[in-house]
A and B are shown apart, each in its own frame.
Chain A
Amino acid sequence: MTAHMPIRSADRLPKIIARALLGASLLVAMAAPAAATKIERVRSPGGIEVWLVQETTVPLIAMDFAFRGGASQDPADKAGVASLVAGMIDEGAGDLDSKTFHERLESKAIELSFTANRDHFTGSLRTLTENKDAAFEMMRLALNAPRLDAADLERIRSETLGILRRESTNPDNMASLRWWETAFAGHPYGRPVRGTLDSVSTITAQDMRAYMKGVFARDTLKVGIVGNIDGATAAALVDKVFGALPAKATLRKVAPADPQGLGRVIAIDFDVQQSVVMMGGVGIPRKDPDFMAAFLVNHILGGGAFSSRLYREVREVRGLAYSIYSTLVPLDSAALFMTATATRGESAKQTLDVVAKEIRRLAESGPTEEELAKAKSYQKGSFALRFDTSTKIAAQLVQIQIDDLGIDYIDKRNDLVEAVTLADVQRVAKRLLDGGMLVTMVGRPQPAPAKGG
């Protein structure tokens, strides 16, 4: 009975933050070595580098790829272009109209999907090995010759508008949108990745072609392939898919930015039973030498286990919330630290106070030796869980390349975790947690009259 599926903890990355994370390089930070994962670097005759993991047990192939330049490349008045491109390029390409294109995919069980996050345009492919030629051909068509037929554009546009309308009164979305537009006013990150009802209504096929022309290029491309396929075959298929794209991307510059409005609390009055609270401040960039220490600090504060300080103090001890967590969001042009929760209206203030107190306590006193040891142990131990499906591995291969961590990162990663000292986490806790947060809150924080369901 999927219809109702309460689970004990919220999604470890609930949607409010998952949305915030669009474009974040978190995957790799959480990844870790898998003894069985051997990565080959393959250079195609056309000069495209592919990271390949050969895996013959299951007769399938998974490919992930990314181009730099996600929604941050949308024109200022056309938020949502990149997202709409992601929704449109499998709606017919080359000689195949949308219907024929989808029927062909389905008749061979080929899966293509595309997503635009803040910093990247990503795609993935999954196919049975026996259909690999057809699958890569469909991907080639989608990237090189999407039709963007008017009727299909209107259809996908209206579907997008339907989703945006629905989200316009969802407190999670409302809190997130307001947070980003406040923290990054005037910056591309301040615009909603999927656009607004107004902006999506104005996007044309020409806007989408301009986006693709600038972004779909070989110089920023990162590719990972996993499956029952050898290097030479993978190289040839990759050349076929990406070989005809321009050599160089033309990207708008996205200025480095810090979140604004730290210390502010923006309350949006909205008649819902439970108030949604989102908080964010300055984080630590992925390339910063302190990143790993910050990652451990975040784990201790509100990372993905039932043992974090926030989980314990907000949920276990006080029963204030079902979902409570924090996360690092290292984007290309900004580094963020965020936390989110949701609580009944009359507890909103108390919950905010508890979260603020825990953050302050960790900033001032730092983690204990035991907490650090446990956090390291968790991070090292959980490494392999990031590598137990082909699609997960393919995603990791791409993320490690995006973050420029080196092909031996998987082998080095646990040593990097181990090398973090107590002095490191104490210093970094202060750096990470002492800077103040911008808070957006959606709901009725005042005591509300009791109401039935």
Chain B
Amino acid sequence: MTAIFKTSTRALLILSVSLSVLSAAALSAGAARGGGPEVAHFTLANGLEMVVVPDHRTPVVTHMTWYRVGSADETPGKSGLAHFLEHLMFKGTAKNPEGKFSQTVATLGGQENAFTTADYTGYFQRIAREHLETMMQFEADRMTGLVLSDDNVRPELKVVLEEWNMRVGNSPDARLGEQIAASLYLNHPYGRPVIGWRHEIETLDREDALAFYRRFYTPNNAVVVIAGDVTADEVKALAEKTFAKVPRVADTAPRLRAQEPPPAAPRTVMLADPRVAQPSLQRSYLVPSYATSKKDAEALEVLSHILGSGSTSRLYRALVVDQRVATNTGAYYQGSSLDASRFGVYAVPQPGVTFKTAETALDEVIADIVKSGVTAEELERAKTRMIADAVYAQDNQAALARWYGVALTTGSTVEDVLAWPDRIRAVTADAVRDAARTWLDRRRSVTGYLVKELPEEKRS
């Protein structure tokens, strides 16, 4: 399960956060058992799933509507369509013309936004509890009632291209990230950028958006998560008046994407941009996700923590403290995806230190875990930290809502989220070593280098 806001690319996120902020566990914890809220989960007659996470401390709610569709569900040649449609979902319906929903949210003092990833698309409002029904009405209405015209689609395409300029065009880190993903996934659509390839975004139009909408936006493909000052019974009653009235407009198909062949060769990519003032390297390994192998995922989660979370981690101790070959380094694991996911490591070399030196040091750290495993103390510390994150999460209704939404749109269940702390507790040192041995294999990886200019080639 993943963090949702603000950063365009993982690479940027990692390279810019200060140490110990990016805890893999923090991105993936679930609510702890005991003491945590009583989570309700039910399905309406039209197939819409609902999750209610009560938090009665403040009279507000977080209302999130998730669709089981993301960029990995796009037709080849139409990359960026899931995200473009997300923008267009704010263009109104017959009942609520353009601007009415957002105006209402603003007038009622709510906050709203939306997001798209490879596997899901989500919309949310955070608002005083008494306005929940109004939000549900609007969201139910736009689930199947979207009306688009070229007059509002065309300016929005420009907005999306500006978003591309900001996130990708202006960011060498992001462009390297795109190259790494495209090289890592030889066959699976995760290799495409969520925002799309620019030349394809430019061709998207109203008909594309509506066709995609009709195919994927239907109650039986949606999950509504409501966290905050409500009870399950209240939500059920409100749902009968709102979401329950939305007819199914499409059948959902199994989300079968083209899968990856067994990876056979280490790959490297190098992105040069004159604006790169600080070189860096990052590597992604193709690994299981929670959806493809829960047991592997849990071990990888703990491994990423011990290997590269914060200044007590193996990578930081070795590369930054002891050998002083890097100014920053770390590891992360993206466990929440429907198909095979990514485990990442990165390093920012000290000035004057070559990529080769930094990378050798990094490889030695990984090799050591593969060979000798992790200590009991490291394991315990990592688990304590990760499990505590599940408690801290109970303090944040919006974060809880996101976790359930992510889980239910990426092949996990409410029970999985609830059991997560216990399952992490059960991970053994052997399992962590085995995960490193099995999955952190160079042949499964792409290493990317961000440089100011390409080195001169020797021509033969």
By a beta-carbon cutoff of 8 Å, the part of chain A in contact with chain B is 1-12, 34-37, 55, 57-60, 62, 87, 98-99, 102-103, 106-109, 126, 128, 151, 155, 158-159, 161-163, 165-166, 168-169, 171, 270-274, 276, 304-307, 315-323, 342-344, 374, 377-385, 387-391, 452-453
Contacts and interface: CB of A to CB of B under 8 A. Distances in A.
Nearest to A443: B170
A316 B161 contact: no
B161 A106 contact: no
Given A2-B3, A98-B311, A155-B320, A320 B162 contact: yes
Given A1-B117, A106-B310, A168-B277, A389 B395 contact: yes
Nearest to A341: B162
Contacts of A315: 159
B10 A306 contact: no
Given A159-B327, A169-B277, 6 more contacts: A7-B4, A98-B321, A102-B311, A159-B19, A323-B162, A344-B165
Contacts of B103: 307, 374
Q: Which of A57, A162, A321 has the most CB of B within 10 A?
A: A162
Contacts of B113: 7-9
A444 B199 CA distance: 21
B338 to A, nearest CB: 9
A319 B162 contact: yes
A108 B384 contact: yes
Contacts of A151: 321
Contacts of A374: 103, 106-107
Nearest to B11: A3
A103 B384 CA distance: 12
A6 B128 contact: no
A63 B170 CA distance: 38
A216 B5 CA distance: 34
Contacts of B87: 8
A36 B389 CA distance: 25
Contact of B155 (A60, A103, A316, A344): A316
A320 B159 CA distance: 6
B342 A378 contact: no
Contact of B384 (A106, A168, A171, A378): A106
A106 B102 CA distance: 42
A2 B403 CA distance: 13
A5 B106 contact: no
Contacts of B247: none
28 contacts: A2-B4, A3-B10, A3-B181, A6-B115, A6-B194, A7-B4, A7-B113, A7-B116, A35-B58, A36-B57, A58-B395, A99-B317, A151-B321, A158-B327, A162-B278, A166-B16, A272-B275, A307-B103, A320-B162, A322-B165, A344-B162, A344-B165, A380-B109, A381-B131, A388-B58, A389-B395, A453-B197, A453-B198
A99 B102 CA distance: 49
A316 B395 CA distance: 35
Interface in B81-134: 83, 86-87, 90, 99, 102-103, 105-119, 126-128, 131
A453 B172 CA distance: 11
B70 interface: yes
Interface in B57-90: 57-60, 70-71, 83, 86-87, 90
Among A37, A106, A319: residue with most chain B CB under 10 A = A106
A7 B159 contact: no
A87 B111 CA distance: 33
Interface in B1-28: 2-10, 13, 15-16, 18-20, 27
A382 B3 CA distance: 23
A272 B117 contact: no
A99 B161 contact: no
Interface of B: 2-10, 13, 15-16, 18-20, 27, 35, 55-60, 70-71, 83, 86-87, 90, 99, 102-103, 105-119, 126-128, 131, 154-163, 165-170, 175, 177, 181, 190, 193-195, 197-199, 228, 274-278, 310-312, 317, 320-321, 324, 327-328, 334, 336-337, 342, 348, 350-351, 380-381, 384-385, 387-389, 391-392, 394-398
A5 B117 contact: yes
Contact of A4 (B16, B128, B194, B321): B194
Contact of A6 (B3, B90, B116): B116
B155 A59 contact: no
A384 B327 contact: no
Given A3-B10, A162-B327, A322 B163 contact: yes
A390 B155 CA distance: 41
A5 B312 contact: no
B59 A35 contact: yes
A326 B278 CA distance: 31
Contact of A272 (B127, B170, B199): B170
A106 B117 contact: no
B107 A377 contact: yes
Nearest to B6: A11
Contact of A8 (B115, B155, B274): B115
Contacts of A274: 162, 165-166, 169-170
Given A102-B310, A306-B90, A5 B169 contact: no
Contacts of B199: 452-453
Nearest to B115: A7
A365 B338 CA distance: 53
A326 B181 CA distance: 35
Contacts of B394: 57-58
A272 B164 CA distance: 12
B119 A1 contact: yes
A389 B397 CA distance: 8
Contacts of A306: 90, 102, 105-106, 112
A131 to B, nearest CB: 9
Nearest to A227: B395
B99 A307 contact: yes
Contacts of A387: 58
B109 A453 contact: no
A172 to B, nearest CB: 8
B193 A4 contact: yes
Contacts of B71: 4
Contacts of B317: 99
Contacts of B86: 6, 8
Contacts of A391: 395
B450 to A, nearest CB: 10
B340 to A, nearest CB: 12
Contact of B162 (A322, A382, A388): A322
A162 to B, nearest CB: 4
A410 to B, nearest CB: 12
A43 to B, nearest CB: 26
A166 B15 contact: yes
Q: Please give me the 3 A-B residue pairs with the lowest Cβ-Cβ distance, nearest first.
A: A381-B109, A319-B158, A109-B388
A378 B334 contact: no
Contacts of A4: 8-10, 71, 117-118, 177, 181, 193-195
Contact of B194 (A1, A318, A344): A1
Which of A12, A321, A322, A323 neighbours the largest number of chain B CB atoms within 10 Å of its CB? Answer: A322
Contacts of B131: 381
Contacts of A304: 111
A59 B35 CA distance: 8
A5 B395 contact: no
Contacts of A106: 20, 310, 312, 381, 384-385
A129 to B, nearest CB: 10
Nearest to A7: B115
Given A107-B380, A315-B159, A382 B110 contact: yes
B397 to A, nearest CB: 6
A59 B394 CA distance: 9
A307 B117 contact: no
A163 B112 CA distance: 32
A339 B177 CA distance: 30
